[in-house]
Amino acid sequence: MTKYDYDLFVIGAGSGGVRAARIAANYGARVAVAEEYRVGGTCVIRGCVPKKLFVYASHFADEFEDAAGFGWTVEGARFDWKTLIGNKDKEIDRLNGIYIRNLQNAGVEIIESRATVVDAHKVRLEATGREVTAERILIAVGAMPFLPEIPGIEHAITSNEAFHLEELPGRVVVVGGGYIAVEFAGIFNGLGARTMQLYRGPLFMRGFDDDLRTLLAEEMSKKGVDLRMDADIKAIGKKDGELHLTLTNGDVIKTDAVMYATGRVPNTKGLGLEAAGVKLGKNGEVIVDEYSQTSVPSIYAVGDVTGRANLTPVAIREGHAFADTVYGGRKVKVDHSIIPTAVFSQPELGTVGLTEALARARHPEIDLYKTSFRAMKNTLSGSQERTFMKLVVDAQSDRVLGVHLMGPGSGELIQAVGIAVTMGATKAQFDATIAVHPTAAEELVTLRDKWRPPAA
């Protein structure tokens, strides 16, 4: 018996914490996990899962319209927000139950409380004030939405509240330019709200390939989202039940709801980490080494709180690698260099590897292959939505450095393409793969001509 209450104390039962706790317990460790809200964390309770359910809901408007070209008449189609929220809540409760059972089956003790760090081996349970000791502590507290300090910000919502609105707002303004902002703009727009999106820079989706950024803006505008770049709010007022947003250029926009999706900050405030000697970065993220160990050897951190790549599969991988390394007797590092990812915007994006800009910066010569077309379904539906595909190839080695997709199914597609890119596939190997016909994806293996900039 060790001198500690637990071998491992995990703070936060989200994607990273749950995986680490379960695997460590499977290896025989005595594990407890503290959760201050709901087991499952952001992804399951108020992130990826409910978001994707909303995205499905919002697609039906387009589907009903598209159906007409195929001979269907859909009469009396109506959308009911409360039904969607109720059914979504049931599904989240079901998943929450599964997460709880999985932890219990692995022998992990679940403690419903906020927990803070007292020192290298001690945690305080805020619900009761009890202090417990552990040989190791894992910080897996995730991140929370960032809200700027402007007058009237208390009238704004974030994605957290968007999942529980009483009514679908008639008009909504989404502020932000990252993937959560574009996804919610698409959701609100698809469900019938008059939707505006504001972004303070010249073009949203910074960090994504520039072609995807430009084309997504075009397609979202075509679908009816009122996109305003170089625009920001300096104050929010409320009059007669309406919100009045005063922009930095002086314009005033009237709306029913304003949702901020302007980034997320690590949940380290008041956690006691600095007093315990754990080094934090400038945004409050926990600084870790390649094995997720912090500057205090008995304290580790995984997931969004480390600010490495804020995605569920990354948090899960980091949690699993931590458990393998510390309790499984094999050192495992997570490779963050190639991360396939999807954006459930409308149209959807899928991307893996280097953007054109990064590839140019890192490789002496690159080749580009691009195609843009109306998908077959749109010939009869009449939809003007375009599909886009781009390969970024290292001219010297022929290796495919990046793949960037926009169009239906891009999220599903990029998972499979991600395998090839992670394995180091060359353009010649893409070309040698027999096409699947008729699909949009076949374009990926039939792109013969290098893209050249149009003559001036």
Ligand X SMILES: Cc1cc2nc3c(=O)[nH]c(=O)nc-3n(C[C@H](O)[C@H](O)[C@H](O)COP(=O)(O)OP(=O)(O)OC[C@H]3O[C@@H](n4cnc5c(N)ncnc54)[C@H](O)[C@@H]3O)c2cc1C
Nearest approach in angstroms of CB 387 to ligand X is 21
Transcribe 120-155 into DSSP letters: TTEEEETTT--EEEEEEEEE---EEE-----TTGGG
Q: Does 271 bind ligand X (CB under 6 A)?
A: yes
Q: With contacts defined by CB under 6 A, name the span among 134-142, 359-367, 384-392, 420-428 that binds ligand X.
A: 134-142
Relative to beta strand 31-35, strand 6-11 is: parallel
Nearest approach in angstroms of CB 207 to ligand X is 15
Return the SS3 of 161: helix
Chain residues 45-84 in contact with ligand X, contact rule CB under 6 A: 47-48, 51
Our answer to whether residue 404 is catalytic in this structure is no
Number of residues that bind ligand X (CB under 6 A): 34
Nearest approach in angstroms of CB 344 to ligand X is 6
According to CB under 6 A, which one of 267, 292, 325, 355 is a site residue for ligand X?
Answer: 267
**Tokens representing 29?**
């460790």
Residue 297: asked if its preceding bond is cis (omega within 30°), the reply is no
Q: With contacts defined by CB under 6 A, name the span among 28-36, 93-101, 245-253, 327-335 that binds ligand X.
A: 28-36
According to CB under 6 A, which one of 22, 114, 390, 404 is a site residue for ligand X?
Answer: 114
Q: What is the DSSP-derived secondary structure letter of residue 227? A: E
Q: State the Cα torsion 270-272-274-278 to the nearest 10°.
A: -130
Q: Does 339 bind ligand X (CB under 6 A)?
A: no
Q: Does 140 bind ligand X (CB under 6 A)?
A: yes
According to CB under 6 A, which one of 285, 304, 385, 443 is a site residue for ligand X?
Answer: 304
Q: With contacts defined by CB under 6 A, name the span among 63-71, 299-307, 349-357, 398-406 that binds ligand X.
A: 299-307
According to CB under 6 A, which one of 6, 9, 14, 110 is a site residue for ligand X?
Answer: 14
**Tokens representing 31?**
């594990």
CA distances to 94, 305, 343 from 409, rounded to whole Å, are 26, 30, 11
According to CB under 6 A, which one of 141, 259, 425, 447 is a site residue for ligand X?
Answer: 141
Nearer Cβ to ligand X (180/359) = 180
Nearest approach in angstroms of CB 163 to ligand X is 8
What is the layout of strands, in order, in the sheet containing 252-255? 233-239, 242-247, 252-255
Q: How far apart are CA 417 and CA 402, in angstroms?
A: 10
Q: How far apart are CA 419 and CA 254, in angstroms?
A: 47
Return the SS3 of 412: helix
